[in-house]
Chains A and B, each alone.
Chain A
Amino acid sequence: MIRVERLVKVYGGAERPSVDGISFQVGAGEVFAFLGPNGAGKSTTAKVLTTLMKPTSGRATVAGHDVVKDSRKVRESIGYVAQSTGIDYFMTGRENLTLIGHLYHLKGNHLTERVDTMLAYFGLSDVADQMVSAYSGGMQRKLDIATALLHQPKVLFLDEPTLGLDAQSRIDLWDYVRKLNTDLGVTVFLTTHYLDEADKLAHRVGIIDQGVLQAVGTPSELKDMLKGDSIALTFEGDAKARALPLLTAAPFAKEVLDEEEGIRVYVDNGGETVAELISLLAREDIRIQAVTLARPTLDDVFIKFTGRSMDKVEEKVRPWWAQWAGDNWEQAQAQGDWKGNKWMNADGTPKDKESFEAWTQSQGDPEAPAEASGFSGNGRAHASDDVEDDVSEANRDETKKDEAKKDAPAGNTGWAGNEWVNPDGSPKDPEAMAKWLKETASKGSK
């Protein structure tokens, strides 16, 4: 249904291709997921396949039509749901569907029927004549998918379909995707950066990173490329020592690890093997305290192929202001992280311990300075402008002094005396005091 050969897409002005020679195929009736972090080239591939972009080189056919030469025929046979919902908020759900139906050149009764069918299918019949602006996020997403299915496409493209949805709406949407795949026989191509989404929804998964397709296979095939499932066993007493040689010799064990809390065995097919393993140990009268069977996750697969975890891949989307920030935008963005300042380290600890402690003590309350300084918590906002860094540091200096002054009376509950007066209110230099009092009194009487 989808055939992609050595597809390359380089954006104008970009050094590195966003998609770098990808080849894969998707069969009819399949749910195929592109899994990868942000900026991996998933959406770009989807946009080339939906004719929204032209490939730089390579070839792609969808439903038997070339995406460049026969783009019109491709458009007629696909539905596309983008990351941002392209539905109109100032129109009702029915109006949105009808408009898109017109754009797909559906007419008359057939169009009305299709609109009603789609509204019913996605459970939107009751709200069909309400403005979309009154819809919940999940409802908008469903309406969005409905608009893409009006013309009964052969392939449905879903670009990050559950991005920004709450947990319940996500699960709800997964059910719909499964349902329309089985009910309507629609081939589904979806991109996602959620591991569980690819795992639970897709028949086959393509792992993509930095524009390169790293691996393709069913979720379990991909996981089987790893050491396999892990069975963790814990024992009582000396049972562990007796079990270890048995397990090491067992034919099903691919790898056996002697861990502090027990034994971990890697096997190919965990579900079946675990029974075999238990009976093997039972025959030797070795008692197992607990068994934990763990399937590897797609994140483990991602780590295997890219050397890093999906969660750790930093989001490097060009912000809108990058076009004015020139080549320094990345640097400017990096400034967004709190890196500490003249007095504080990045972790919030003071740089000069001694003077800090001295100052803290002079404040009376050890908690006061951190709060008084006021900027340790929102360093992101302050540090983001590196042009203004000097200025803002100066400002902070001011702020700090001011705050210190302001906080002094609050921090010091008792009057500590000053240059002239003792804490008990008596003057330090009684003679000078008496003289001053006399002078002011005589001035006042004049």
Chain B
Amino acid sequence: MFAADTYHLFAKYMRITWRMPMWTLFGLAQPLIWLLIFSDLFSKMATLQGWPTTSYANFFLPGVMVMTVLFGSAWAGVSLLREINFGMVDKMMVTPIHRGSVLFSRVLHSAATVMVQCVVLLVVAFVMGLDLNGNLLHLAAGLLSVWVLGIGFAALSNGIAIVLRREEPLVIVGNFLTLPLMFFSSAMMPVKYMPEWIQWCAVVNPINYAVEAARTMLVGKADWAVFGQGFAVVFGFALAAFVWANFTFMRSRG
């Protein structure tokens, strides 16, 4: 019943999200603003020798998607704490639902809202005339890697929330994590231009693999080998993050 339980809870979260017009408005506008501002701000970077793409916007599109994931999922744990305090989690846990579906429906929902934003980004990128990959399968694969990263990052946020038990420190930890994770990846700049120590950071940064996997599938020429390697790491990260989060959650139930 894991699938059915997860589906019903997921449907509830989606319904609540769509009832918050503020989310729809700002949630959709924010990544677009990033794409427009950053593409313009860093447009000169594309003139660097050996820059992989024709324009900065082409390079940055996968980066802005990952950025959306990071900023969209980093606070996923806040609402878990709220649900715990309001007794909603207890209410779910006294029903005979599969224990794992409580957290899994939550991370699916976080990843899904991010996915909606990414699809909108893709449409806008098309309108802007970026060098999108014409193959729908490739585009889907690129989005998939971003989606799995969203699940992993939301799971991480939920797990940290349970450990910290308060919203304020969770926000601090979220702030602490997101920006370095993004800068230590090729979201905004190819790895080869980075100082050596940051290159080493990028090697162990799962975000970097998600960006690489998404980039190779979304813009320019698709390379399944690059995608395979990147996706495997992101998937491993997401799985580990969820297993850890769920373990922490179940242990916290006493």
Contact = CB atoms under 8 A, between A and B. Distances in A.
Interface of A: 11-12, 50-54, 72, 75-76, 78-80, 82-88, 90-91, 95, 99-100, 102-105, 147, 320, 323
Nearest to B88: A86
A91 B15 CA distance: 8
B90 A86 contact: yes
Contact of B12 (A11, A88, A147): A88
A416 B65 CA distance: 78
B15 A100 contact: no
B97 to A, nearest CB: 5
Q: Which of A50, A80, A83 has the most CB of B within 10 A?
A: A80
B86 to A, nearest CB: 6
A100 B96 CA distance: 10
6 contacts: A79-B94, A83-B87, A86-B88, A91-B16, A103-B8, A323-B165
B166 to A, nearest CB: 7
Contacts of B49: none
Which 3 interchain pairs have the tightest Cβ spacing? A86-B91, A84-B87, A86-B87
In the complex, which range does the number of interface residues on chain B fall in? Answer: 20 to 34
Nearest to B8: A102
A103 B5 contact: yes
Contacts of A95: 12, 15
A358 to B, nearest CB: 49
Contact of A72 (B9, B86, B91, B96): B96
A82 B90 contact: yes
B254 interface: yes
A80 B15 contact: no
Contact of B95 (A54, A104, A320): A104
A205 B93 CA distance: 27
B93 A52 contact: yes
A99 B8 contact: yes
A78 B87 CA distance: 17
Contact of A100 (B1, B20, B90, B95): B95
Contacts of A80: 90-91, 94
Contacts of B92: 86, 103
B192 interface: no
Interface in B77-110: 85-97
Nearest to B91: A86
Nearest to A320: B166
A86 B254 contact: no
Contacts of B87: 82-86
A53 B253 contact: yes
Nearest to A82: B87
Given A54-B254, A88-B16, A320-B166, A147 B91 contact: yes
Interface in B92-143: 92-97
B1 A91 contact: no
Contact of B253 (A52, A78, A91, A105): A52
A84 B5 contact: no
A323 B95 CA distance: 30
Contacts of A50: 94
Of B1, B4, B90, B95, most buried by chain A (CB within 10 Å of CB) is B95
B91 A82 contact: yes
A84 B86 CA distance: 6
Given A53-B253, A104-B95, 9 more contacts: A75-B96, A82-B87, A82-B91, A84-B90, A85-B87, A88-B12, A88-B16, A88-B88, A103-B95
Contacts of A85: 86-87
B184 to A, nearest CB: 31
Contacts of B16: 88, 90-91
Contacts of B254: 11-12, 52-54
B172 to A, nearest CB: 13
Contacts of A323: 165
B44 interface: no
A50 B12 CA distance: 24
Contacts of A51: 93-94
Contacts of B93: 51-52
A243 to B, nearest CB: 58
Nearest to B92: A103
A86 B165 CA distance: 18
B193 to A, nearest CB: 43
A8 B85 CA distance: 25
